Chain A
């Protein structure tokens, strides 16, 4: 494992808090990105860029990202993409 799922979850919320100037206590797993956190389509673009930079991996699975509704969904997508990364021997 590159990072534990718990570490990834914490890092996702840190990235969202920093990028969108959000209070960390708003970033619960069931908080919806658009309705609860007030993000929009432009923010979604920046969110991917910020997460790619933070995790050092490309998030090219656009279908999976398009289906994200909540912070929990987003964390799950990041974990899934992380798991698909080639492992260094």
Chain B
């Protein structure tokens, strides 16, 4: 069976730097941090991490009509705005979106945690549903982002919502790639979304994996650094338009890069701990599918969230697959760990690197941890020839994903 080649023809972002791809990319290239102190979390007994990278406040009323907004929690609003930007950038017409040949794969960790909180606060206090609004379920459901994006943009093809926490967006991109390869869909809007909520940070805090650098919130998290102390959770959405090469060329669309490999494995070892050889396996599978070898890889965008175990395991896996000369960085220092959105937002930054032919560094990486493997950590913006790159994302539950992306040169 002849498989379709798959390219990226558009992207859209809502991030801790605000609305739009430009604000995301500018934030990274200006070396800024989207992390801030969350003073209201001081009131949660036992919670030791009071840091997050939320999307700055904006007035969604000005951007989305009430009939659309009534079924959206924050994450679905982020996903819809990012998807709309991605579609505009790709030039996909409303007719194509309505044709049934375009689908959506947008994941998140859960439905909106804020809406869960609102519902149960009211329900448990009153044991009544008499004041519940009709939109509540549509904000809570696991496919809230994907369903709302389809409705808002008139997309009538396949609708998927991979839910795997930190790999939700990466899985969605991989799924879109497979659906287009096989010819089931011509184009797919792929990515993920999540929103900052104390319940999400609590999960990492309970596992002693959340950062506590309260006196210097703009210096957390610190992936790969000797002084790293855990994750800072963020919010937002990153959406990519994946499309068959034939379709993109027929439309005369601007091609941002080609996806040539997707590695996707479960470690089946531990529900929470990272597993080095499974990370390796994901990267090797993606490289094998892309028919590329060590000498072809110009850069690795690491998942590296700033946890003790995860960063060490990933550095060692990268070293085992690629040796120590391939540049590596993580964007969690800039935008925190945006969980379900991470694979989408971080891939958008990688696309900017491919376009600019520049490496973007890991923010706050001052002293690489000697426990990490001696890989080539990127610590400042610098020019670099970039053609073929790896994008890693890993998740609790043993999920390991790697994408291989290739710069498009016509």
The interface of chain A, by Cβ under 8 A from chain B, is 20-21, 38, 40, 42-43, 45-46, 49, 52-53
Contact = CB atoms under 8 A, between A and B. Distances in A.
Q: What bracket does the count of chain B residues touching chain A fall in?
A: 10 to 19
B61 interface: yes
Contacts of A43: 70, 134
B61 A49 contact: no
B131 A38 contact: no
Nearest to B65: A21
Given A45-B134, A46-B70, 8 more contacts: A21-B61, A38-B67, A45-B133, A46-B135, A49-B132, A49-B133, A52-B130, A53-B131
A38 B70 CA distance: 14
Contact of A42 (B61, B70, B130): B70
B270 interface: no
Q: Which 8 A-B pairs have the closest CB atoms?
A: A42-B134, A45-B134, A21-B66, A46-B133, A46-B134, A49-B131, A49-B133, A20-B66
Contacts of A20: 66
Given A21-B61, A42-B135, A49 B66 contact: no
Contacts of A53: 131
Interface string B114-131: 000000000000000011
A40 B130 CA distance: 19
B259 to A, nearest CB: 38
Contacts of B70: 42-43, 46
B132 to A, nearest CB: 7
A83 B66 CA distance: 33
Interface in B125-177: 130-135
B323 to A, nearest CB: 57
Contacts of A40: 67
Nearest to A42: B134
18 contacts: A20-B66, A21-B61, A21-B66, A38-B67, A40-B67, A42-B70, A42-B135, A43-B134, A45-B134, A46-B70, A46-B133, A46-B134, A46-B135, A49-B130, A49-B131, A49-B132, A49-B133, A53-B131
